[in-house]
Each structure stands twice: as C-alpha cells, then as structure tokens.
Amino acid sequence: MGSLRMLVLAGVVVLGTTVAARASECEATCGGAKRTCQNAAATANRTCKAALKSAVPQDRHDAAKTCRDAFKAAKEQCVAAIHDCLDVCHNPPAPGSCAAGCQLDARICVKHVIADGKSCLQSCKGTKGPDRLACVTQCGAQGKAGLDACAATRTQCLAGCPASPSGAFVD
C-alpha cells in the first residue's frame, strides 16, 4: 500500500512538473512577446518625436500630443495582449483539442517573431544616428506586424475549431 502511494505521488509530481514547465515556457513566450511589442511601441514613439524636429513650430504641440496618444494606445494594446497570452497559459485548452493545436501554433509563431526581431536588431548594431533609428524602427514595425499576424492566425484557427454541442465547454 505504501509503494502504491509513493507511485501515485511520484506520478502527480511528474505530471505537475510537466504542467508547470509548460506554463513556465508559455509565460516566457508571453514575456518575449510583451518585450517585442513594447520595443516596437517605444521605437515608433522615438521616430515620431524625431519627426517633430522638422515640424513647423506652431504645429509641434499638436504633433507631440499625437505622438503621446499613439504611444499610450500602443502600450495599452501590449498590456491587453500580454493579459490574453497569460490567460491562455493559466487556463490552457484541453490537451489534444483543436484549440490546443491553435495555441501551440501561435506560441511557435510568436517564438519565431521574437527570434527574427532579435536577429533584426543585431543587424542594426553597426549603424549610427538616424540610420540606426530607421533600422530599429523597421525591426519594431516588423516585430509588431509579426505579432499581429500570429494573433490573427490564432483567431482564425480557433474560429475553425468545433464548438461543444451544448455550448457548455470549449474544445
């Protein structure tokens, strides 16, 4: 009887560790997506502010407000996206379900976007001044577009998953 308890306990520990490892990997992916999103927002804000220098002095105040508003909206979008991502980590779909497949594909997509973003930023290291800002801006825009594409693909995939007969649960 004691060895059966130990076997069950060992199984629970292994299963719990596997689930925790998946959640940790999921959270790390969400964190990377958050950093990519925030870097894109910050870079777009720097680019916007740099453009202010060429604005007519009386238009600078309105242009600066536009930059601030756009930056605030972009940050809020990043926060909403990280909350959605973490919600999926903490409330994953049933293993083997259509939704689980969509989530896995989305996580892989985001990992590729993060890796591509890091590579892009590495290529900017040799540039200076306005060229560096242009390079980093391009990387940020590509990263944001990549994250948006991952989210859209996930949404499309989930829309193709069969719903539960009673609507009481999601597959």
pLDDT, tens digit, for every residue of 76-100?
A: 999 988 888 888 888 888 899 999 9
Q: What percent of the chain clears pLDDT 90, i.e. is strictly above it?
A: 35
pLDDT band at 167 (very low <50, low <70, confident <90, very high): very low
Q: Can you tell me the distance from the alpha carbon of 52 to that of 29, in angstroms, rounded to the nearest whole number?
A: 35
What DSSP character marks residue 56? -
Q: What percent of the chain clears pLDDT 70, i.e. is strictly above it?
A: 82
Position 122 scores a pLDDT of 93
Position 130 scores a pLDDT of 84
Q: Is the pLDDT of residue 115 over 70?
A: yes
Q: Can you tell me the distance from the alpha carbon of 46 to that of 54, in angstroms, rounded to the nearest whole number?
A: 14
Cβ count near 41 (within 10 Å): 21
The answer for 127, left when phi > 0, alpha when psi is -120 to 50, beta otherwise, is beta
Q: How far apart are the first and last CA of the chain?
A: 37
Rounded mean pLDDT of 140-148? 91
Q: Which residue has the higher pLDDT, 117 or 25?
A: 117
Position 21 scores a pLDDT of 46
Q: Is 95 helix (H, G, I), strand (E, B) or coil?
A: coil
- 146, 165 in Cβ contact below 8 A? no
- 144, 47 in Cβ contact below 8 A? no
Q: Is the pLDDT of residue 18 over 80?
A: no
Does the reported pTM lie above 0.75? no
Reading the block at residue 96, the tokens are 């083997």
Q: Is the pLDDT of residue 159 over 90?
A: yes
Position 23 scores a pLDDT of 58
Q: Look at the alpha carbons of 142, 147, 148, 154 in this order and tell me if their dihedral is positive or negative.
A: positive
Rounded mean pLDDT of 96-118? 92
- 97, 171 in Cβ contact below 8 A? yes
Query: What value does the mean pLDDT of the chain take?
Result: 80
- The letter for the amino acid at 93 is P
